[in-house]
């Protein structure tokens, strides 16, 4: 009987074991059948910040979906690591992925409280949950989490797991990972964090919004004390160290959500180019932690933006004053501060426009008292004289006395002007304007009546010998409009397109600077259509040289040339120069009727400066991936981006003729720069677009002004009046700055050489600005300006002109090649 019972129990036990094994096998299969692959952790590449750097390495922008700066565990000080270990998982370095004691302790705590308030997830489990599983709350998910945690502990070291954790967790306010948290809250690298700061950060993952020091420093410090106590309990620090950390004064910074830190138009263009290029189609600029190096010169871009704003304000004021921007009854200061809070400064900056509440108008004293929140002052009547010309809502002008028109309660725009400017007009090296300066009182400055211009503009600076773009300013204000008028705005170039016509004539049809062309009224017939162009001044100069025609931008000459050489050759040369926009097949192309971008037209002028070579415009110079591998480096393959598109001799002939535009033509405004400059103005129909593209042997700068919704800028508002001054503002100061930097380097090198040779240091002479170099295939001759014939230095009308060898004038004053085309029939 006993034996039978024993056998029964044994069989029953075997059956139970078999059933248990079956259930265990099924359970194992059930839990592991759809587990994620651990290879996703082995190839861990979390979304991280892409950084955009200027040419000097300065950080100018970031792109991200999750603000994360991955750090190596070796970059995290042990004390900071221990803050997180003590806070989240004190037994981290001793358990195998799960901590049974913590689970039991949490279970008892939760039973005592009657709710599941305390968790027992280890750091390893949190890594699994964040990287491999969902946040679903279920028994099955917890089993998966435990199993995967055990597996991860077998595949990775503790330090590797901790590194994953510290880079993955969310710290609030867009900060993912400890690298971003250190930068965001404390403006520090992780290696610079103190114990007190580390304890603040270690308290955040539990509830980032609740314990954020930006939301409540009191709650953050309460959580900090908890972390420090845990560290004491774990013997990571002493009670004295904890107390010192509690008493440490912590400075936190407001969360900066701005992704662009300088040169906003430029940085936005870099993003656009990256997204649109097939080269980068497999990369995500918002998550792949790239490092994008650019050709940006931050100083040049800032100076260009300042020059553009100054010039646009001047043009806008010439149009007239648009009046007060608002009115607040009874000049209520509190109401003003409420309505214009975002525009009221804590510190004033010269040349910046601010809204101001008019509190009193005193004709007797000739002043307008204003209040701009933190500052009060007066606007002298003299500064309002420009506002006598008043514009209504339909741009109709009439004349007023500003002191009669401005009333208390009006909101007018003012700016701050220093009383004692530092520049000296007699000093050719002095800046044309003082740079913007921050001031905290009006002791040495005055308010002046001002207004934010409605007119827009753009500027681009190019290095024609490399294609690099150091500066690109796409509008008056990026905050007002993100549309980039350098690369996205299509506008009529007007006479700025004429150098393309002249190049086609010189390079392809034997014209020379002394070729006689005809500035006479005429009508052109094309099929059944008739076209009668006019010069801007409605006057005609008769028979003149090609040089004179370009200098004075004669429309009839350009139209005549294109009627003789044909439209297709002009389009061909435009494309050779890098103009890719669609050009119209009509005679009006000669007057710049087809729209192009600022970058295109500026790049085309760069070919003249670069001796006939065209480079691709280069914003992005290098791209590095998160591993440090170079994906692209423009410096490694510059030749492939360059092409000799026109003859070197023709490029020089054009540059030499375009110098005349500056010396005695429509670009005369920029002559005070006192260095070799070539260029061309441009004005479209009804003065809707104003251009000046000018270049030195080293740089090309293009400037455009106009309205986005096309309308006239104003009578006589030409490229020479609107854009050329802006060109001069920038290039005068920028080239002088470069000269000073180059001279300082020359002095340094000369001193070093003197020391090395044991000789006396003699300061070197200042460098002379470069002129356009004369190619071997070009020769000079004395030419009579009026007749174009050979002359000599004693002729009062003589001019030293350059010609491609064997194309100098014959006794009739014209090159033999040109005669054929001058006599060709009209279209």
Model pLDDT for residues 332-376, shown as the tens digit of each residue: 999 999 999 888 888 888 888 999 999 999 999 999 999 998 888
**Least confident piece of the model among 199-213, 290-304, 756-770:** 756-770
Q: Strand locations in 463-556, DSSP E?
A: 471-473, 516-519, 524-526, 529-531, 542-545
The pair of structure tokens assigned to 643 is 């092409």
CA distance 374 to 341: 11
Radius of gyration of the chain (CA): 36
Q: Quick one: CA dihedral 750, 752, 754, 757, positive or negative? A: negative
Beta strand 67-68 with 175-176 is parallel
- Number of Cα atoms under 13 Å in the Cβ half of residue 39: 1
Establish whether domains 65-247 and 322-450 are of one fold. no
- With a cut of 80, say whether residue 824 has pLDDT above it: no
pLDDT category of residue 139 using cuts at 50, 70 and 90: very low
| Lowest mean pLDDT across 194-203, 667-676, 679-688, 816-825 | 816-825
Alpha carbon 693 to its chain centroid, in Å, reads 21
CA distance 818 to 653: 15
d(CA 473, CA 477): 9
Using CB atoms within 10 Å of the CB of residue 418, give its burial: 0 to 12 exposed, 13 to 18 middle, 19+ buried: middle
Strands (E), 611-699: 613-615, 620-624, 630-633, 642-644, 678-683, 689-695
Q: Domain spans of the chain?
A: 1-33, 65-247, 322-450, 470-621+636-716, 778-822
Contacts of 520 (CB under 8 A, 6+ apart): 540, 542, 556
Pairing outcome for strands 410-418 and 354-362: antiparallel
Helices and strands: H and E segment counts in the chain: 24, 31
pLDDT of residue 794: 86
Nearest residue to 598 (alpha-carbon basis) of 711, 471, 733, 713: 471
CA distance 354 to 345: 8
Residue 345: per-residue pLDDT? 82
Per-residue confidence (pLDDT) for residue 441, from 0 to 100? 66
Pick from 230, 260, 259: which is nearest to 242 by CA? 230
Residues in the chain: 827
% of the chain beyond a pLDDT of 90: 72
Torsion region of 331: left, alpha or beta (phi above 0 gives left; psi -120 to 50 gives alpha): left
> From the CB of residue 311, how many other CB atoms can be counted at a distance below 10 Å?
26
CB-count burial class (<10 Å; 0-12, 13-18, 19+) for 57: exposed
pLDDT given at position 152: 80
CA proximity to 324, closest of 373, 379, 382:
379
SS3 760: coil
Which residue would you say has higher pLDDT here, 84 or 637? Answer: 84
Q: Is the pLDDT of residue 79 over 80?
A: yes
Higher-pLDDT residue of 95 and 116 is 95
Give the model confidence (pLDDT) of 175-226 as tens digits: 999 999 999 999 999 999 999 999 999 999 999 999 999 999 999 999 999 9
Neighbouring residues of 360: CB distance < 8 A, sequence distance ≥ 6: 368, 369, 408
- Whether the pLDDT of residue 424 is over 60: the answer is no
As a whole number of angstroms, the distance between CA 724 and CA 459 comes to 11
The mean pLDDT of 752-756, rounded to a whole number, is 91
CB-CB contact of 293 with 53 (8 Å): yes
The answer to whether the beta carbons of residues 417 and 350 sit under 8 Å apart is yes
Task: Tell me the C-alpha distance between 601 and 726, whole Å.
Answer: 17
Distance CA 783, CA 801 (A): 6
| More reliable by pLDDT, 164 or 136 | 164
- pLDDT of amino acid 154: 79
Topology of the domain covering 470-621+636-716? Beta-lactamase (3.40.710)
- Higher-confidence position of 134 and 548: 548
Which residues on neighbouring strands pair with residue 679, listed in sequence order? 694
Any idea which residue has 């003065």 for tokens? 687
Average pLDDT over residues 547-570: 96
**pLDDT score for 29:** 46
How many beta carbons lie within 10 A of that of residue 451, not counting itself? 21
Instruction: Say which DSSP state 592 is in.
Output: T
pLDDT, averaged across the chain: 88
pLDDT band per the 50, 70, 90 thresholds, residue 28: very low
Q: Under a CB-based contact definition with an 8 Å cutoff, are residues 295 and 99 in contact?
A: no
Backbone conformation region of residue 316, classed left if phi is above 0, alpha if psi is from -120 to 50, else beta: alpha
Exactly one of 149, 369, 495, 594 is catalytic; name it.
495
Closest-CA residue to 201 (of 30, 305, 85, 39): 85
Q: Is 88 a catalytic residue?
A: yes
Q: Return all residues near 623 (Cβ < 8 A) that are at least 6 apart.
A: 280, 290, 291, 292, 293, 630, 631, 632
Instruction: State the CATH architecture for 322-450.
Output: Beta Barrel (2.40)
Beta bridge partners of 542: 519
pLDDT at 504: 98
Give the list of residues 6+ apart from residue 821 with CB closer than 8 angstroms, or none. Answer: 505, 509, 510, 511, 564, 565
For Cα atoms 473, 478, 483, give the angle at the middle one, nearest 5 degrees: 75
Q: Which CATH class is domain 65-247?
A: mainly alpha
List the one residue out of 121, 123, 37 whose CA is nearest residue 73: 123
Residues 6+ apart with CB under 8 A from 647: 507, 612, 804
Inform me whether the pLDDT recorded for 710 exceeds 80.
Answer: yes
Interval 524-550 mean pLDDT: 91
Give the pair of three-digit tokens for residue 589: 């192309």
- The CA-atom distances, in angstroms, between 234 and each of 85, 89, 102, 123 are 9, 10, 14, 16
d(CA 188, CA 179) in angstroms, rounded, equals 9
What the block records as the tokens of 554 is 């004669």
Residue 527 or residue 431, greater confidence = 527
């Amino acid at each position: 009987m006993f034996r039978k019972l024993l056998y029964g129990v044994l069989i029953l036990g075997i059956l139970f074991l078999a059933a248990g094994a079956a259930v265990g096998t099924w359970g194992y299969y059930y839990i592991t059948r759809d587990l994620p692959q651990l290879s996703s952790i082995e190839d861990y590449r979390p979304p991280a910040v892409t950084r955009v750097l200027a040419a000097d390495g300065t950080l100018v922008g970031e792109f991200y979906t999750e603000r994360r700066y991955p750090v190596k565990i070796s970059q995290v000080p042990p004390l900071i690591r221990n803050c997180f270990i003590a806070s989240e998982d004190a037994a981290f370095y001793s358990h195998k992925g799960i901590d049974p004691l913590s689970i039991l302790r949490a279970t008892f705590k939760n039973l005592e409280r009657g709710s599941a308030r305390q968790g027992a997830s280890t750091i390893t489990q949190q890594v699994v949950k964040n990287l491999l599983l969902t946040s679903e709350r279920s028994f099955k998910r917890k089993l998966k989490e435990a199993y995967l945690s055990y597996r991860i502990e077998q595949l990775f070291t503790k330090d590797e797991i901790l590194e994953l954790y510290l880079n993955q967790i969310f710290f609030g306010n867009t900060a993912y990972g400890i690298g971003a948290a250190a930068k965001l809250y404390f403006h520090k690298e992780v290696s610079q964090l103190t114990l007190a700061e580390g304890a603040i950060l270690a308290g955040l993952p539990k509830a980032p919004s609740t314990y954020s020091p930006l939301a409540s420093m009191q709650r953050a410090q309460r959580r900090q004390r908890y972390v420090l106590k845990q560290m004491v309990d774990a013997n990571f620090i002493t009670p004295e160290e904890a107390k010192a950390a509690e008493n440490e004064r912590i400075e936190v910074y407001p969360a900066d959500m701005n992704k662009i830190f300088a040169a906003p138009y430029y940085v936005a263009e870099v993003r656009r180019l990256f997204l649109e290029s097939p080269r980068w189609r497999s990369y995500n600029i918002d998550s792949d932690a790239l490092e994008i190096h650019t050709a940006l010169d931050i100083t040049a871009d800032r100076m260009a933006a300042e020059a553009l704003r100054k010039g646009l304000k001047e043009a806008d004021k010439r149009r007239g004053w648009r009046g007060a921007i608002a009115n607040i009854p009874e000049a209520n200061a509190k109401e003003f501060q409420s309505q214009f809070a975002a525009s009221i400064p804590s510190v004033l900056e010269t040349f910046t426009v601010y809204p101001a509440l008019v509190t009193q108008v005193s004709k007797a004293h000739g002043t307008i008292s204003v209040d701009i929140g933190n500052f009060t002052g007066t606007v002298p009547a003299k500064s309002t004289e420009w506002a006598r010309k008043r514009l209504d809502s339909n741009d109709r002008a009439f004349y007023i006395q500003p002191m009669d028109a401005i009333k208390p309660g009006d909101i007018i725009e003012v700016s701050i002007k220093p009383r004692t400017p530092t520049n000296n007009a007699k000093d050719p090296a002095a800046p044309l304007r003082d740079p913007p300066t921050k001031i905290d009182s009006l002791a040495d400055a005055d308010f002046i009546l001002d207004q934010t211009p409605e007119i827009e503009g753009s500027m681009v600076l190019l290095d024609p010998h490399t294609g690099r773009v150091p500066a690109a300013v796409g509008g008056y204000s990026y905050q007002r409009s993100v549309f980039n008028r350098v690369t996205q705005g299509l506008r009529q170039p007007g006479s700025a397109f004429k150098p393309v016509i002249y190049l086609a004539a010189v390079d392809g049809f034997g014209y020379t600077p002394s070729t006689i062309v005809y500035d006479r009224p005429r009508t052109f017939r094309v099929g059944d259509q008739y076209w009668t162009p006019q010069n801007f001044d409605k006057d005609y100069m008769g028979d003149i040289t090609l040089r004179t025609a370009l200098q004075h931008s004669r429309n009839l000459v350009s139209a005549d040339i294109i009627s003789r050489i044909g439209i297709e050759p002009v389009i061909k040369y435009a494309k050779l120069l890098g103009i890719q926009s669609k050009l119209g097949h009509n005679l009006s192309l000669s007057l710049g009727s087809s729209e192009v971008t600022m970058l295109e037209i500026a790049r085309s002028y760069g070919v003249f400066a670069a001796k006939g070579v065209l480079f691709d415009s280069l914003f992005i110079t290098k791209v590095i991936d998160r591993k440090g591998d170079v994906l692209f480096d423009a410096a490694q393959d510059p030749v492939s981006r360059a092409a000799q598109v026109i003859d070197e001799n023709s490029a020089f002939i054009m540059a030499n003729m375009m110098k005349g535009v500056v010396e005695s033509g429509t670009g005369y405004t920029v002559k005070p720069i006192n260095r070799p400059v070539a260029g061309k103005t441009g004005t479209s129909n009804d003065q809707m677009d104003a251009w000046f593209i000018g270049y030195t042997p080293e740089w090309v700068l293009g400037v455009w002004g106009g309205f986005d919704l096309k309308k006239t800028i104003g009578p006589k508002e030409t490229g020479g009046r609107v854009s050329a001054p802006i060109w001069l503002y920038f290039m005068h100061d920028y080239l002088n700055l470069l000269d000073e930097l180059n001279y300082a380097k020359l002095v340094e090198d000369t001193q070093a050489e003197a020391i090395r040779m044991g000789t006396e240091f003699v300061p070197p002479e200042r460098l002379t600005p470069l002129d356009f170099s004369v190619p071997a295939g070009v020769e000079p001759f004395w030419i009579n300006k009026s007749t174009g014939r050979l002359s000599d230095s004693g002729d009062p009308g003589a001019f030293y002109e350059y010609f491609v060898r064997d194309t100098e004038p014959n006794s009739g004053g014209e090159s033999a090649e040109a005669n054929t085309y001058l006599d060709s029939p009209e279209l």
